[in-house]
Amino acid sequence: MKELTAIDEVDTFIEENKFSFIYVSRTNCSVCHALLPQVKEVLSQFPNIQLGFVNADELEEIAGRLSIFTVPALLFFVEGKEVIREARFVQIEALREKIGRIYEMNAEE
């Protein structure tokens, strides 16, 4: 997991990785802290997906840049295009299935 602390780092992370997953959290968000290990476990099944972590308390502009209204916000990008967006209460198994379908469709390319 790579911590991203500037908007240009977020942009570069998304541009440079075929599969990029951005996890946006806040320091005092208990749901965020509980969900992150589950997301890491899901992503461990997809070795080519790179995980970027953004603390919205430290990078407030992220909300406007990525249109984030609540945390945790989970955004999955394939070749720079957002393909999945989940927020607040995330069903992990449903997320795993969505990621799996998209990953398999794009892995061979």
Condensed to tens digits (0 to 9), the pLDDT of residues 72-95 reads 999 999 999 999 999 999 999 999
Per-residue exposure over 3-19, b if at least 16 CB sit within 10 Å of its own CB, e if not = ebeeeeebeebbeebeb
Expressed in percent and rounded to 5, the helix, strand and coil fractions of the chain are 40, 25, 35
Residue 85 amino acid letter: R
Binning pLDDT at 50, 70 and 90, where does residue 3 land?
very high
Question: For residues 108 and 66, which has the higher predicted lDDT (pLDDT)?
Answer: 66
Alpha carbons 5 and 19: distance in angstroms, whole number: 19
Distance CA 53, CA 56 (A): 10
Average pLDDT, stretch 87-105? 95
The pLDDT of residue 109 is above 70: no
Give the model's pLDDT for residue 107. Answer: 74
Quote the pTM value: 0.94
* Residue 48 scores a pLDDT above 60: yes
Q: Domains in the chain, ordered, with CATH?
A: 2-107 (3.40.30.10)
Give the mean pLDDT of 6-30. 97
